[in-house]
Structure 1
Amino acid sequence: MNLHFDQIVPSIPYILDGIWVTLQYTLLSALFGFLWGIVLSLFKISNVKSLNWFAVAYTSVFRGTPLILSLALVYFAVPQLTGYDITALEAGVLTFGFNSAAYISETIRGGIMAVDKGQREAALSLGVPYRRMMIDIILPQAFKNILPAMVNESIALLKDSALVSTIGALDLMRRASIVGAGKFLYFEPLILVAIIYYLMVMGLTLVARGLERRMRRSD
Protein backbone atom coordinates (compact mmCIF):
# COMPACT_ATOMS: atom_id res chain seq x y z
CA MET A 1 0.00 0.00 0.00
CA ASN A 2 1.32 3.39 -1.04
CA LEU A 3 0.70 5.35 2.16
CA HIS A 4 2.54 8.48 3.29
CA PHE A 5 1.21 9.55 6.66
CA ASP A 6 4.51 11.31 7.32
CA GLN A 7 3.72 13.84 4.59
CA ILE A 8 0.57 15.08 6.31
CA VAL A 9 2.19 15.50 9.76
CA PRO A 10 2.90 19.24 9.17
CA SER A 11 -0.76 19.71 8.23
CA ILE A 12 -2.19 17.99 11.33
CA PRO A 13 -2.48 21.25 13.38
CA TYR A 14 -4.38 22.84 10.47
CA ILE A 15 -6.80 19.90 10.35
CA LEU A 16 -7.22 19.88 14.14
CA ASP A 17 -8.27 23.54 14.05
CA GLY A 18 -11.37 22.29 12.27
CA ILE A 19 -12.55 20.57 15.46
CA TRP A 20 -13.67 23.87 16.94
CA VAL A 21 -15.50 24.79 13.74
CA THR A 22 -17.29 21.42 13.70
CA LEU A 23 -18.22 21.69 17.39
CA GLN A 24 -19.40 25.26 16.91
CA TYR A 25 -21.87 24.20 14.24
CA THR A 26 -22.94 21.16 16.27
CA LEU A 27 -23.45 22.87 19.63
CA LEU A 28 -25.27 25.92 18.29
CA SER A 29 -27.48 23.76 16.06
CA ALA A 30 -28.23 21.35 18.91
CA LEU A 31 -29.24 24.18 21.24
CA PHE A 32 -31.42 25.87 18.63
CA GLY A 33 -32.93 22.56 17.51
CA PHE A 34 -33.70 21.49 21.07
CA LEU A 35 -35.45 24.74 21.99
CA TRP A 36 -37.43 24.89 18.74
CA GLY A 37 -38.18 21.17 19.07
CA ILE A 38 -39.76 21.76 22.48
CA VAL A 39 -42.00 24.46 20.99
CA LEU A 40 -43.01 22.18 18.11
CA SER A 41 -43.76 19.30 20.48
CA LEU A 42 -46.05 21.55 22.53
CA PHE A 43 -47.76 22.60 19.29
CA LYS A 44 -48.35 18.93 18.47
CA ILE A 45 -50.11 18.20 21.74
CA SER A 46 -51.97 21.51 21.71
CA ASN A 47 -55.74 21.67 21.34
CA VAL A 48 -55.31 24.59 18.94
CA LYS A 49 -55.74 22.96 15.53
CA SER A 50 -53.76 25.59 13.61
CA LEU A 51 -50.69 25.07 15.81
CA ASN A 52 -51.06 21.30 15.58
CA TRP A 53 -51.37 21.44 11.80
CA PHE A 54 -48.35 23.71 11.48
CA ALA A 55 -46.12 21.41 13.59
CA VAL A 56 -47.19 18.29 11.71
CA ALA A 57 -46.70 19.94 8.30
CA TYR A 58 -43.31 21.34 9.39
CA THR A 59 -42.10 17.91 10.46
CA SER A 60 -43.36 16.36 7.24
CA VAL A 61 -41.44 18.85 5.08
CA PHE A 62 -38.10 18.37 6.82
CA ARG A 63 -38.50 14.61 7.01
CA GLY A 64 -39.32 14.43 3.32
CA THR A 65 -36.41 16.48 1.94
CA PRO A 66 -32.64 15.82 1.98
CA LEU A 67 -30.63 17.79 4.52
CA ILE A 68 -28.06 18.86 1.93
CA LEU A 69 -30.89 20.32 -0.20
CA SER A 70 -32.16 22.35 2.75
CA LEU A 71 -28.62 23.62 3.39
CA ALA A 72 -28.19 24.65 -0.25
CA LEU A 73 -31.55 26.43 -0.27
CA VAL A 74 -30.75 28.42 2.86
CA TYR A 75 -27.20 29.33 1.83
CA PHE A 76 -27.77 30.12 -1.84
CA ALA A 77 -31.45 31.09 -2.01
CA VAL A 78 -31.71 33.41 1.00
CA PRO A 79 -29.37 36.05 -0.53
CA GLN A 80 -31.31 35.86 -3.79
CA LEU A 81 -34.71 36.24 -2.13
CA THR A 82 -33.88 38.72 0.63
CA GLY A 83 -30.63 40.38 -0.37
CA TYR A 84 -29.08 39.33 2.94
CA ASP A 85 -25.59 37.89 2.55
CA ILE A 86 -25.95 34.97 4.96
CA THR A 87 -22.76 33.47 6.36
CA ALA A 88 -21.90 29.78 6.27
CA LEU A 89 -22.26 29.60 10.06
CA GLU A 90 -25.70 31.16 10.03
CA ALA A 91 -26.84 28.94 7.17
CA GLY A 92 -25.50 25.80 8.83
CA VAL A 93 -26.96 26.52 12.27
CA LEU A 94 -30.36 27.48 10.86
CA THR A 95 -30.54 24.46 8.55
CA PHE A 96 -29.33 21.89 11.06
CA GLY A 97 -31.38 23.45 13.86
CA PHE A 98 -34.62 23.50 11.85
CA ASN A 99 -34.03 19.96 10.60
CA SER A 100 -33.07 18.58 14.00
CA ALA A 101 -36.11 20.23 15.62
CA ALA A 102 -38.41 18.26 13.33
CA TYR A 103 -37.08 14.96 14.69
CA ILE A 104 -36.60 16.16 18.26
CA SER A 105 -40.19 17.37 18.43
CA GLU A 106 -41.46 13.85 17.78
CA THR A 107 -39.11 12.45 20.43
CA ILE A 108 -40.18 15.04 23.01
CA ARG A 109 -43.85 14.57 22.14
CA GLY A 110 -43.49 10.84 22.75
CA GLY A 111 -41.73 11.51 26.05
CA ILE A 112 -44.46 13.90 27.18
CA MET A 113 -47.21 11.44 26.26
CA ALA A 114 -45.37 8.71 28.20
CA VAL A 115 -45.65 10.67 31.46
CA ASP A 116 -48.52 9.40 33.60
CA LYS A 117 -51.68 11.40 32.82
CA GLY A 118 -52.56 11.32 36.49
CA GLN A 119 -49.76 13.77 37.28
CA ARG A 120 -51.07 16.22 34.71
CA GLU A 121 -54.62 15.92 36.02
CA ALA A 122 -53.44 16.33 39.62
CA ALA A 123 -51.47 19.46 38.77
CA LEU A 124 -54.40 21.01 36.93
CA SER A 125 -56.77 20.15 39.77
CA LEU A 126 -54.44 21.94 42.19
CA GLY A 127 -54.56 25.04 40.03
CA VAL A 128 -51.00 24.80 38.68
CA PRO A 129 -50.78 26.92 35.50
CA TYR A 130 -50.22 24.93 32.30
CA ARG A 131 -46.88 26.59 31.56
CA ARG A 132 -45.54 25.98 35.06
CA MET A 133 -46.82 22.39 35.01
CA MET A 134 -44.96 21.65 31.76
CA ILE A 135 -41.69 23.24 32.94
CA ASP A 136 -41.61 21.89 36.51
CA ILE A 137 -43.45 18.56 36.28
CA ILE A 138 -43.91 17.12 32.79
CA LEU A 139 -40.78 18.09 30.83
CA PRO A 140 -38.24 16.97 33.50
CA GLN A 141 -39.82 13.51 33.57
CA ALA A 142 -40.11 13.38 29.80
CA PHE A 143 -36.42 14.28 29.48
CA LYS A 144 -35.44 11.18 31.46
CA ASN A 145 -37.41 9.02 29.05
CA ILE A 146 -36.01 10.58 25.89
CA LEU A 147 -32.36 11.00 26.88
CA PRO A 148 -31.08 8.02 24.81
CA ALA A 149 -32.94 9.24 21.73
CA MET A 150 -31.61 12.78 22.26
CA VAL A 151 -28.06 11.44 22.42
CA ASN A 152 -28.59 9.61 19.14
CA GLU A 153 -29.88 12.82 17.55
CA SER A 154 -26.85 14.75 18.85
CA ILE A 155 -24.49 12.15 17.39
CA ALA A 156 -26.30 12.33 14.05
CA LEU A 157 -26.06 16.13 14.16
CA LEU A 158 -22.32 15.97 14.87
CA LYS A 159 -21.75 13.78 11.82
CA ASP A 160 -24.18 15.70 9.61
CA SER A 161 -22.25 18.90 10.36
CA ALA A 162 -19.68 17.66 7.83
CA LEU A 163 -22.10 18.85 5.15
CA VAL A 164 -21.05 22.45 5.80
CA SER A 165 -17.89 21.66 3.86
CA THR A 166 -20.07 21.92 0.75
CA ILE A 167 -20.69 25.63 1.40
CA GLY A 168 -17.05 26.47 2.12
CA ALA A 169 -16.93 26.25 5.92
CA LEU A 170 -13.47 25.24 7.14
CA ASP A 171 -14.62 22.30 9.24
CA LEU A 172 -12.76 19.01 9.60
CA MET A 173 -13.93 17.61 6.27
CA ARG A 174 -13.10 20.78 4.32
CA ARG A 175 -9.64 21.04 5.83
CA ALA A 176 -8.93 17.37 5.09
CA SER A 177 -9.97 17.93 1.47
CA ILE A 178 -7.72 20.99 1.19
CA VAL A 179 -4.75 19.07 2.59
CA GLY A 180 -5.50 16.15 0.29
CA ALA A 181 -5.69 18.38 -2.77
CA GLY A 182 -2.47 20.17 -1.87
CA LYS A 183 -0.46 17.00 -1.35
CA PHE A 184 -2.34 14.71 -3.75
CA LEU A 185 -2.94 12.41 -0.80
CA TYR A 186 -6.56 11.86 0.22
CA PHE A 187 -6.59 8.62 2.18
CA GLU A 188 -4.33 9.82 4.99
CA PRO A 189 -6.09 13.11 5.93
CA LEU A 190 -9.53 11.53 5.59
CA ILE A 191 -8.55 8.64 7.86
CA LEU A 192 -7.26 11.16 10.40
CA VAL A 193 -10.58 13.03 10.27
CA ALA A 194 -12.49 9.74 10.62
CA ILE A 195 -10.54 8.98 13.82
CA ILE A 196 -11.29 12.48 15.17
CA TYR A 197 -15.01 12.10 14.50
CA TYR A 198 -15.01 8.67 16.11
CA LEU A 199 -13.32 9.99 19.25
CA MET A 200 -15.78 12.89 19.50
CA VAL A 201 -18.75 10.54 19.14
CA MET A 202 -17.34 8.16 21.75
CA GLY A 203 -16.75 11.09 24.11
CA LEU A 204 -20.34 12.25 23.68
CA THR A 205 -21.57 8.71 24.28
CA LEU A 206 -19.59 8.38 27.52
CA VAL A 207 -20.87 11.73 28.80
CA ALA A 208 -24.44 10.66 28.02
CA ARG A 209 -24.01 7.35 29.83
CA GLY A 210 -22.70 9.17 32.88
CA LEU A 211 -25.68 11.52 32.80
CA GLU A 212 -28.06 8.58 32.52
CA ARG A 213 -26.51 6.92 35.58
CA ARG A 214 -26.81 10.13 37.59
CA MET A 215 -30.46 10.55 36.60
CA ARG A 216 -31.24 6.94 37.54
CA ARG A 217 -29.66 7.46 40.97
CA SER A 218 -31.75 10.59 41.49
CA ASP A 219 -35.05 8.69 40.93
Structure 2
Amino acid sequence: MVTQTTPVRIGVLGTHSTGKTTLLKRIEMELRGHGLTVARTGRLAKRAAAIGLPKMQRHTEVSTEWIIVQGVADELAAVAQGAQVVLADRAALDALAYYCAALEFREEQLDGLESERLRLLVATQTAKYDLLLSTELDPDMPVDPSHDYDPHYRFLVDRHVHALLDDDRIAHQPVTSDPDSHRRAIDQVLEFCLAKAAARTP
Protein backbone atom coordinates (compact mmCIF):
# COMPACT_ATOMS: atom_id res chain seq x y z
CA MET A 1 0.00 0.00 0.00
CA VAL A 2 1.39 3.42 -0.96
CA THR A 3 1.67 5.83 1.94
CA GLN A 4 -0.30 9.08 1.79
CA THR A 5 2.15 10.85 4.09
CA THR A 6 5.13 12.67 2.64
CA PRO A 7 8.23 11.42 4.48
CA VAL A 8 11.18 13.46 5.61
CA ARG A 9 14.02 13.01 3.11
CA ILE A 10 17.59 13.52 4.28
CA GLY A 11 20.62 13.23 2.03
CA VAL A 12 24.30 12.97 2.83
CA LEU A 13 27.14 13.70 0.45
CA GLY A 14 30.90 14.05 0.57
CA THR A 15 34.09 12.41 -0.58
CA HIS A 16 34.85 8.80 0.30
CA SER A 17 35.86 7.75 3.81
CA THR A 18 34.57 10.90 5.48
CA GLY A 19 32.00 9.11 7.64
CA LYS A 20 28.85 9.37 5.51
CA THR A 21 27.62 5.83 6.10
CA THR A 22 28.59 5.81 9.77
CA LEU A 23 26.77 9.10 10.31
CA LEU A 24 23.60 7.79 8.66
CA LYS A 25 23.71 4.57 10.66
CA ARG A 26 23.82 6.60 13.88
CA ILE A 27 20.98 8.82 12.67
CA GLU A 28 18.92 5.76 11.74
CA MET A 29 19.49 4.21 15.17
CA GLU A 30 18.43 7.42 16.95
CA LEU A 31 15.30 7.83 14.85
CA ARG A 32 14.27 4.20 15.30
CA GLY A 33 14.84 4.62 19.02
CA HIS A 34 12.17 7.33 18.97
CA GLY A 35 9.69 5.07 17.19
CA LEU A 36 10.03 6.39 13.65
CA THR A 37 10.10 4.09 10.62
CA VAL A 38 13.29 4.66 8.66
CA ALA A 39 14.61 3.51 5.29
CA ARG A 40 18.28 3.99 4.36
CA THR A 41 19.47 3.74 0.77
CA GLY A 42 23.06 3.20 -0.31
CA ARG A 43 25.79 1.02 -1.81
CA LEU A 44 25.24 2.73 -5.16
CA ALA A 45 28.88 2.72 -6.27
CA LYS A 46 29.31 -0.96 -5.42
CA ARG A 47 26.10 -1.85 -7.25
CA ALA A 48 27.20 0.15 -10.28
CA ALA A 49 30.55 -1.64 -10.31
CA ALA A 50 28.77 -5.00 -10.01
CA ILE A 51 27.04 -4.43 -13.36
CA GLY A 52 30.26 -3.35 -15.02
CA LEU A 53 30.09 0.43 -14.70
CA PRO A 54 33.30 2.34 -13.90
CA LYS A 55 33.78 4.08 -10.56
CA MET A 56 35.98 6.58 -8.76
CA GLN A 57 38.39 8.38 -11.10
CA ARG A 58 37.07 6.33 -14.05
CA HIS A 59 33.50 7.65 -13.75
CA THR A 60 31.66 8.39 -17.01
CA GLU A 61 28.44 10.13 -17.98
CA VAL A 62 26.71 6.74 -18.02
CA SER A 63 27.90 5.63 -14.57
CA THR A 64 27.04 9.05 -13.15
CA GLU A 65 23.53 9.03 -14.56
CA TRP A 66 22.97 5.43 -13.43
CA ILE A 67 23.92 6.33 -9.84
CA ILE A 68 21.66 9.39 -9.85
CA VAL A 69 18.67 7.56 -11.33
CA GLN A 70 19.13 4.41 -9.23
CA GLY A 71 19.39 6.54 -6.09
CA VAL A 72 16.13 8.27 -7.02
CA ALA A 73 14.46 4.90 -7.63
CA ASP A 74 15.65 3.59 -4.24
CA GLU A 75 14.31 6.66 -2.47
CA LEU A 76 10.95 6.41 -4.26
CA ALA A 77 10.70 2.74 -3.28
CA ALA A 78 11.28 3.70 0.36
CA VAL A 79 8.54 6.34 0.08
CA ALA A 80 6.14 3.81 -1.46
CA GLN A 81 6.83 1.37 1.38
CA GLY A 82 5.71 3.96 3.92
CA ALA A 83 8.93 5.08 5.62
CA GLN A 84 8.50 8.18 7.76
CA VAL A 85 12.13 9.11 7.14
CA VAL A 86 14.25 8.31 4.09
CA LEU A 87 18.01 8.54 4.55
CA ALA A 88 19.91 8.77 1.26
CA ASP A 89 23.51 7.63 1.48
CA ARG A 90 24.80 9.69 -1.46
CA ALA A 91 22.38 12.44 -2.43
CA ALA A 92 22.07 13.06 -6.18
CA LEU A 93 24.58 15.94 -6.19
CA ASP A 94 27.23 13.56 -4.86
CA ALA A 95 27.36 11.60 -8.13
CA LEU A 96 27.89 14.74 -10.16
CA ALA A 97 30.72 15.86 -7.88
CA TYR A 98 32.44 12.48 -8.28
CA TYR A 99 32.16 12.75 -12.06
CA CYS A 100 33.47 16.33 -12.19
CA ALA A 101 36.38 15.26 -10.00
CA ALA A 102 37.08 12.28 -12.28
CA LEU A 103 37.18 14.53 -15.33
CA GLU A 104 39.57 16.93 -13.63
CA PHE A 105 41.71 14.01 -12.46
CA ARG A 106 41.92 12.75 -16.06
CA GLU A 107 42.39 16.30 -17.39
CA GLU A 108 39.25 16.05 -19.51
CA GLN A 109 36.41 18.49 -20.12
CA LEU A 110 32.68 17.88 -19.76
CA ASP A 111 30.62 18.85 -22.79
CA GLY A 112 28.57 21.97 -22.06
CA LEU A 113 25.21 20.49 -23.03
CA GLU A 114 25.91 17.29 -21.10
CA SER A 115 26.96 19.31 -18.06
CA GLU A 116 23.71 21.27 -18.19
CA ARG A 117 21.65 18.11 -18.57
CA LEU A 118 23.26 16.38 -15.60
CA ARG A 119 22.98 19.51 -13.44
CA LEU A 120 19.29 19.83 -14.29
CA LEU A 121 18.76 16.17 -13.44
CA VAL A 122 20.45 16.70 -10.08
CA ALA A 123 18.51 19.92 -9.44
CA THR A 124 15.17 18.15 -9.83
CA GLN A 125 16.16 15.83 -6.97
CA THR A 126 18.04 18.21 -4.68
CA ALA A 127 14.87 20.21 -4.08
CA LYS A 128 13.21 17.09 -2.61
CA TYR A 129 15.56 16.82 0.36
CA ASP A 130 14.41 18.38 3.62
CA LEU A 131 17.98 18.34 4.96
CA LEU A 132 21.38 17.86 3.35
CA LEU A 133 24.44 16.88 5.37
CA SER A 134 27.80 17.48 3.73
CA THR A 135 30.84 15.75 5.20
CA GLU A 136 34.19 17.49 4.95
CA LEU A 137 37.54 15.92 4.21
CA ASP A 138 40.02 15.82 7.09
CA PRO A 139 43.39 14.94 5.52
CA ASP A 140 44.77 14.04 8.96
CA MET A 141 42.23 11.28 9.50
CA PRO A 142 43.65 7.83 8.56
CA VAL A 143 41.98 5.86 5.77
CA ASP A 144 41.41 2.12 5.97
CA PRO A 145 44.51 0.67 4.24
CA SER A 146 42.35 -2.00 2.59
CA HIS A 147 40.86 0.76 0.40
CA ASP A 148 43.03 1.66 -2.55
CA TYR A 149 42.08 5.33 -2.69
CA ASP A 150 43.96 7.92 -4.70
CA PRO A 151 44.47 10.82 -2.25
CA HIS A 152 44.42 13.46 -5.00
CA TYR A 153 41.13 12.21 -6.41
CA ARG A 154 39.66 12.08 -2.91
CA PHE A 155 40.65 15.73 -2.46
CA LEU A 156 39.13 16.68 -5.83
CA VAL A 157 35.80 15.08 -4.92
CA ASP A 158 35.70 17.04 -1.67
CA ARG A 159 36.39 20.28 -3.53
CA HIS A 160 33.75 19.63 -6.19
CA VAL A 161 31.10 18.66 -3.64
CA HIS A 162 31.44 21.95 -1.82
CA ALA A 163 31.87 23.99 -5.01
CA LEU A 164 28.59 22.62 -6.40
CA LEU A 165 26.80 23.32 -3.14
CA ASP A 166 28.14 26.87 -3.06
CA ASP A 167 27.61 27.58 -6.77
CA ASP A 168 23.93 26.64 -6.59
CA ARG A 169 23.49 28.14 -3.09
CA ILE A 170 22.10 24.88 -1.76
CA ALA A 171 21.32 24.91 1.95
CA HIS A 172 23.26 22.23 3.79
CA GLN A 173 24.79 21.34 7.14
CA PRO A 174 28.57 20.86 7.03
CA VAL A 175 29.80 17.91 9.10
CA THR A 176 33.47 17.69 10.04
CA SER A 177 35.36 14.73 11.48
CA ASP A 178 34.97 16.22 14.97
CA PRO A 179 32.64 14.06 17.14
CA ASP A 180 30.84 17.19 18.33
CA SER A 181 30.04 18.07 14.71
CA HIS A 182 28.53 14.62 14.19
CA ARG A 183 26.52 14.99 17.38
CA ARG A 184 25.16 18.36 16.29
CA ALA A 185 24.13 16.94 12.91
CA ILE A 186 22.38 14.00 14.56
CA ASP A 187 20.59 16.29 17.00
CA GLN A 188 19.49 18.57 14.17
CA VAL A 189 18.04 15.67 12.21
CA LEU A 190 16.36 14.21 15.28
CA GLU A 191 14.78 17.52 16.26
CA PHE A 192 13.55 18.14 12.71
CA CYS A 193 12.08 14.65 12.23
CA LEU A 194 10.38 14.54 15.62
CA ALA A 195 8.84 17.96 15.01
CA LYS A 196 7.51 16.78 11.65
CA ALA A 197 6.13 13.59 13.21
CA ALA A 198 4.43 15.58 15.97
CA ALA A 199 2.85 17.92 13.44
CA ARG A 200 1.31 14.96 11.60
CA THR A 201 -0.15 13.40 14.74
CA PRO A 202 -3.93 14.07 14.99
Shorter chain as denominator, the TM-score bin is 0.3 to 0.5
Structure holding more helix per residue: 1
Structure holding more strand per residue: 2
Question: What's the TM-score, normalizing by structure 1?
Answer: 0.30
Q: Which has the larger radius of gyration?
A: 1
